[in-house]
Amino acid sequence: MVSRAKDTHTTNRVVRIDDEDWAAYEQACKDKGLTRSADIRMHIKSEIAAWRRRQRAEGQATAP
């Protein structure tokens, strides 16, 4: 069964990050006024947009 967050209806993902880095990342995100989840989603969307721009520039079809 897929686990989904109740407030966003998004699928939960599992990543492995050591505790010290995870705690420091939480503070870094708090200093930016973000949650870790929001920061990760922003990074992923930025990476996808950059990838799609590269794909278009190279004249290749864009995947989902």
pLDDT(63) > 90: no
Q: pLDDT tens digit string along 12-23?
A: 889 999 999 999
In angstroms, the CA 20 to CA 40 distance is 17
What does the pLDDT average to over 6-34? Answer: 92
DSSP for residue 10? P
Q: Which element (helix H / strand E) includes 37?
A: helix 36-57
Closest CA to 51 of 41, 40, 64, 34: 64
14: its two tokens: 């599992």
What is the band of 10 on the pLDDT scale with cuts at 50, 70, 90?
Answer: confident
Extents of the domains making up the chain = 19-57
| The model's pTM | 0.75
> Terminal CA-to-CA distance of the chain, rounded, Å?
24
pLDDT(39) > 80: yes
